[in-house]
Amino acid sequence: MSEPGAASYGAVVGGARTAADYTWARVRQGELGQMPALLGLAAIWIYFQSRQPTFLSARNLSNLVLQIGVTGTLAVGIVLVLLMSEIDLSVGSISILSSAVLANAVVNHDWAWYWGIALMLAVGIAVGAFQGFWFAIVGVPSFVVTLAGLLGWQGVQQWVLGSSGTINVTDPHVSAVATTTLPAAWGWALAVGTSVIYGVTRIQEQLRRRRAGLPTKPLVVVGARTALVTALALLVVAVLNGDLNGFWVLGRAIFINKGVPTPGVILLGLVVGFAWITTRTQFGRYIYAIGGNPEAARRAGVNVTAVRIAVLSLCAMLASVAGLIQTSRLAAASQAIDPGQVTLEAIAAAVIGGTSLFGGRGSVWSALLGALVIGSVANGLDLDGQPPYVKLIVEGAILLLFVTIDAIARRGRAAAGS
């Protein structure tokens, strides 16, 4: 072997050893992050692909993206609330209420589609601020306030829909949310842009930590994670764009589809945007501080009341966005949707993705990852012809498993003093 080749080989081996040592040290300290969800998602995909050759087909992956649009969008808001060590049980009801408001305005009152969407978002923000007032100012626990919202807003939705219980929405602009896809070139631009943003923000984070004298991750770890995100983003877009004719997964070919669905673009945009807000702004730092210790945050000058109201308002606004996606998918607003199940699946997605129920730890990216886990399980079981009760049992078992992992990791962090 030539000397340059030997040096390159040694660098690769050394980098891999450094990454492995760092990862193992983090695991021993209970800093699992999103590793359990990533491993779980890989296991789920391998299992269902081995049972159903169409699971990783382009068409089914496109359907999966459509299916997680609502759950993922709700989970983004749930993550914000969980980071404050609180809970919001009303997002499902707010979502279906917003859907009813949009349908009523556009269909029954002939509002333009954009004014209908503006109204539904305004309703979501108002509902969130109302609940935030009762929680942050009156002092009623968030669990109780939002539990009341889960029941009450569902009743308001039924009143808005009227005796029929359903309003069909055929406006082409509303329908386009769930029925359109990105052109191929835009899909590639989205993948490249997301990868660049991820890599740049990770490097900036390490530079800031180094300047502050805080521990930093080895460069090889940052590079490996960025490379993994880039590879996954490019692969997904290639599959959805139909650019991998003859591409094989576990011995089976997957073929063409129509492109990246718009709900996936909306969800990714929300995840990137709120990930930036929570990690790059003072408001985001306040959220983490309140989740860690609200009294300490208050003594440090944080307006805890205002932040809590703002977070619950943002969570409710995101529920309205989820209502828009749901309305577009169903081409209707209907009281047949179970808000309780929608809410619990969103909470499960946030927790499974790596956000701690104990507050102060997690990332908005966990909403996307957790939604993929929940959606993949539901999608795979549907393809496998399993009855609905099996899906509920499996989702409950997965949620319990990940909460248990979080609890064990929390004890590990306490023992390590982190």
Name the residue type at position 65: V
CA atoms of 346 and 76, how far apart (whole Å): 8
pLDDT above 90 (res 144): yes
pLDDT above 90 (res 239): no
CA atoms of 414 and 397, how far apart (whole Å): 26
Fold of 33-180+261-409: ABC transporter involved in vitamin B12 uptake, BtuC (1.10.3470)
Q: Output 337 or 58, whichever has higher pLDDT.
A: 337
Residue partners of 407: CB distance under 8 A and separation at least 6 = none
Which span out of 33-47, 183-197, 225-239 was modeled with the highest average pLDDT?
183-197
Closest CA to 271 of 263, 283, 259, 282: 263
pLDDT-derived band at 255 (thresholds 50, 70, 90) equals: very low
CA atoms of 319 and 102, how far apart (whole Å): 13
Q: Where are the alpha helices (DSSP H) in 140-252?
A: 142-161, 172-179, 184-211, 219-241
Please report where in the chains the tokens 């209970």 appear, as a residue. 30
Model pLDDT, residue 327: 94
CA atoms of 210 and 193, how far apart (whole Å): 26
pLDDT-derived band at 88 (thresholds 50, 70, 90) equals: very high
List C-alpha distances in Å: 191 to 179, 199, 256, 264: 20, 12, 18, 12
pTM value? 0.85
Q: Of 104-118, 247-261, 329-343, which range is least confident? A: 247-261
Burial class (CB in 10 A: 0-12, 13-18, 19+), 286: buried
**End-to-end alpha-carbon separation of the chain, Å?**
45
Q: Output 124 or 6, whichever has higher pLDDT.
A: 124
Mean pLDDT for 257-271 is 85
Q: Output 404 or 374, whichever has higher pLDDT.
A: 374
Burial class (CB in 10 A: 0-12, 13-18, 19+), 11: exposed
Sign of CA dihedral 376, 380, 383, 388: negative
Model pLDDT, residue 183: 86
Q: Output 245 or 333, whichever has higher pLDDT.
A: 333
Domain ranges, ordered by start, for the chain: 33-180+261-409, 182-260
